[in-house]
Amino acid sequence: MWLYMVLAVVLLGLEATGQGLPSQLRAYANDFVSPVLRLLEQPIRAVQAGLERIAGVGDIYLENQTLRDENDRLRQWREAAMQLSRENERLRQMLKVPGREVPPAATARVIGVGGGAFERNVLISAGISDGVRRNLPVVDESGVIGRTIQVGRWTSRVLLVTDLNSRIPVRLERTGDLAIAEGQNEAFLMLRFLPEEIVIREGDRLLTSGHGGVFPPDLPVARVSEVGEGYVRLDPLGILGKLDYVRVLDYHAVPDEDAIALPPKNGEAGEQEQQP
């Protein structure tokens, strides 16, 4: 028994001193458990889908009517958005402003969640083989959900925005002021480091500021849900309660080191200039 206990204490010591070994082990351990999770989740997803179908039958007529109205509104919005997009593109070309679209590295399914009390993370079905790397932003259809922290061959672990270790540089959409959205291991986030003179209202949206180099600017992160004495509480915009498919964005804040041209050494500059 004591041998195992000593081993456990050694492992805890490695974690406490920030060694990379536990993290690497975890990344590849997820690859082994992922086939089991995929198998086990099949009946669960089938039951969930069945229950949702049964629940939806009752109000199908009302929902159909609502969807028709929404579809009409969305058509109008689509036309307006396309017109603005074309105009935006033309202006960007005229001013030579580089585009800000971030291509997805992979689209993946959530195959597992961290069920413990100490973490808020999910396991997704994309890894190195799909082009995923550490610290890439992960989004769903509504907003940011987190970033990749461990990447295995076929799976990756995503640290959710609600995790205690998550800090996202954000800006207030209405005023442009900068702050940090901090996870609490709860369903909500807290806003930190916002200048005191800023008047913040419930319903204000927060977008990524682009600082820190992990998240591209202007991705929706959260909405202000409560403003109290000395604290601002946020609801994440990503639908963390119903995560299914997510997108990993292939975002580079700065070019890779290899891609940066090294400065020429003494003597080489002259030679290069002489070349035709």
Query: Which tokens sit at 266?
Result: 């003494």
Which residues in the 89-118 window bind other proteins by CB under 8 A?
A: 110-118
Distance of alpha carbon 247 from alpha carbon 244, whole angstroms: 10
Using the contact rule CB under 8 A, the part of the chain among 54-62, 185-193, 210-218, 223-231 near other proteins is 185-193
As a dihedral over the C-alpha atoms of residue 38, residue 44, residue 50, residue 56, rounded to 10 degrees, the angle is: -100
Q: Write the interaction track for other proteins spanning residues 222-241; mark x where CB under 8 A is met and - where it is not.
A: ------------------xx
Of 122, 126, 189, 248, the residue at the interface with other proteins (CB under 8 A) is: 122
Least gap, CB of 104 to other proteins (angstroms) = 21
Q: Which residues contact 232 (CB under 8 A, 6 or more apart)?
A: 190, 191, 194, 200, 224, 226
- Minimum CB separation from other proteins for residue 17, in Å? 10
Question: For residues 234-273, which are near other proteins according to CB under 8 A?
Answer: 240-244
Q: Is 156 among the residues that bind other proteins (CB under 8 A)?
A: no
Q: Is 148 exposed, middle or buried (0-12, 13-18, 19+ CB in 10 A)?
A: buried
* 26 contributes a contact to other proteins by CB under 8 A: yes
Task: Note whether 150 binds other proteins by CB under 8 A.
Answer: yes
Nearest residue to 29 via CA among 147, 206, 144, 156: 156
* Contact letters for other proteins, residues 34-73 (x by CB under 8 A): --xx--xx--x-----------------------------
Q: How far is the CB of 93 from other proteins (least distance, A)?
A: 42
Count of CB atoms within 10 A of residue 251's CB?
19
Asked if 139 touches other proteins (CB under 8 A), the answer is no
195 near other proteins, judged by CB under 8 A: no
At 191, list the tokens: 């806003």
In total, the chain counts a number of residues equal to: 276
Residue 16 or residue 261: which is nearer to other proteins going by CB? Answer: 16
* Minimum distance of other proteins from residue 98's CB (angstroms): 35
Min separation Cβ 21 and other proteins, Å: 9
54/236 Cα distance (integer angstroms): 29
Between 164 and 198, name the residue whose CB sits nearer to other proteins. Answer: 164
- Interface residues with other proteins (CB under 8 A) are 1, 4-5, 7-12, 14-16, 22, 25-26, 29-30, 33, 36-37, 40-41, 44, 110-123, 150, 157, 160, 162, 164, 184-187, 240-244
